[in-house]
Amino acid sequence: MHGTYDGSTQLASIIELIDNVATYKYQCKLMMDKTNGAIYLRGSWNSLIDGDLFGELLMTLEADVLFNSMSGIWVGEAQPAEELADFFIPINPIRWCATLFRKDNDTWQMFGSGYFNDSTDIPNQSILFFSINGTGTLDDMKIIKKYLNMDHSVEYRGKLIEYDNGSYSYVGHWSNVVAGSYGSFLAAQYCLNPMISYRLDICLCEICTNILHTGDNRWFCSQCHLTTCPGCNHHKLAIDHPHKLMPHILPTQQIAQGKSCRELITSAFHTFQSLPLIVFRSTESKELVWFTYGEMSMKCNALVKYWKSFVINADDQVRSFILIMADTSPAYIACLLAGLMCQAVLVPIHGALKIDALTHLLSTIDPSIVVVGEPYLNKLLSVLSENSSRLLMTISQNEEQFQRVESINERSISLTTVIEKGNKIPNEYHSHSSLSRNTMSAIL
């Protein structure tokens, strides 16, 4: 059986093949009974051979029964033996959907399936499906992986190891008699809650910086969120990492959602908290560094809390304006996001704007907050009238990456000073206004 699943609608479409013939089709939705927490697939089925055969279906998710069964996705990799290095046999990822259950006192059986989606070495078969069948004891189990439409199989033999957290790994040796290859393998049980959205966003291997796409296998540290691709798992940096890296895969994509820019930004900060948002080269070390969504969230929330006394509560008729005249930098991006969170109208302008145009713009929008980069401060001050109710905030060249700087002008306050003061304000800023979808967010 194989098919497709849409994580946003929780709809599944599955085809069952019998003797390699598409025989039945199942269309169902993943649901949960809130009264008892039961998770199930419910929908309809029909025969693809006999049009008179059809009906309804219900499949309930059963929890593992201690000492009797365990199910889930098993992920890891199969490495070729060292003595086969001259043959350049690739390290193959393991991703099995399998169930292990007890037949009698000591004998267990495993069944399941999986697929490869990178089998470009086999003509006209970009996707290869395979079945998993095994039997034995927990200390000595043999599994046969047999490919669909091919007289080809791989044998895995090993034992199950239980970890302190209650999860299991299947470790041992594999052999491919037809190809004459062999080696070692590890497949860790990865239990999933189908009603939870897991991280499946695109991220980078932190060693080679290659992109890891949705559904890719990766090696992951749950304590500090180090992520590597399967190849870099054997790099010295990964081997020397203080925490154990485990094979990892995620079933559904995590999405930030919101009805407004403010809600969308807040959702993204929470959803992708540990992921990098901005990658840049440090002015001090000259190395590539980044701010995560969580780190940027703290800076933006501090800005918003300080700015709240300068902006009015927005509605469809009355909005505050925030003028931004600075060069692009992490600090500049934080100001853009904070302005949207305030539900003000952003007016970003280029520093080369002529004086007469700048004067006209200031008189037209009368901004409540003006953010200006250090190179353009004197130009702005020459035409900006003093207004006690207006905030003039500067971004010096030394604080574009949030380095601490004092205010550089008596009429202004520095970005980092605002963040410090905002962090001391106890309550987060929450606007109670509800703007229509057609409300303007920026004038570009």
Tell the CATH superfamily of the 261-424 domain: ANL, N-terminal domain (3.40.50.12780)
pLDDT of residue 202: 52
Question: How many whole angstroms separate alpha carbon 419 and alpha carbon 291?
Answer: 16
pLDDT (tens digit per residue) in 406-421: 776 778 899 999 999 9
* Predicted local distance difference test score (pLDDT) of residue 313: 75
Q: How many CB atoms lie within 10 A of CB 396?
A: 19
Q: Map out the domains of the chain as residue ranges.
A: 2-61, 69-190, 203-250, 261-424
Q: Are 295 and 375 in contact (CB under 8 A)?
A: no
Per-residue pLDDT of the chain (444 residues; tens, 9 = 90+): 888 887 667 889 999 988 878 899 999 998 888 777 788 899 999 999 999 999 999 998 887 776 788 888 888 888 999 999 888 787 888 888 899 899 888 899 999 988 776 554 556 666 778 899 999 999 999 999 998 777 788 999 999 988 776 778 899 999 998 889 999 999 988 766 555 444 444 567 888 877 776 667 778 887 766 788 888 888 888 888 888 888 876 544 567 888 888 889 999 998 888 778 888 888 777 787 888 899 999 999 999 999 998 988 767 678 899 999 999 999 999 999 999 999 899 999 999 999 999 999 999 999 999 999 999 999 999 999 888 789 999 999 888 888 887 776 778 899 999 999 999 998 755 555 566 656 667 675
Residue 61 near residue 194, CB atoms below 8 Å? yes
**What are the helix (H) ranges across 182-310?**
236-239, 261-271, 293-307
Contacts of 48 (CB under 8 A, 6+ apart): 15, 22, 23, 24, 25
Whether the Cβ atoms of residue 273 and residue 297 lie closer than 8 Å to each other: yes
Round to whole Å and give the CA distance between 429 and 337. Answer: 14
What long-range pairs does 295-301 form, CB within 8 A, spacing at least 24?
Answer: 296/269, 296/330, 296/333, 296/334, 296/337, 297/269, 297/270, 297/273, 298/423, 299/334, 299/402, 299/419, 300/265, 300/269, 300/334, 300/337, 300/338, 300/341, 301/341, 301/422, 301/428, 301/429
Using the 8-state DSSP alphabet, how is residue 366 labeled?
-
pLDDT, tens digit (0-9, with 9 covering 90-100), for 203-242: 678 888 777 766 677 788 877 667 888 888 888 888 888 8
Do 343 and 431 touch, CB atoms closer than 8 A? Answer: yes
Beta-bridge partner residues of 290 = 279
CATH number for the domain whose boundaries are 69-190: 2.40.128
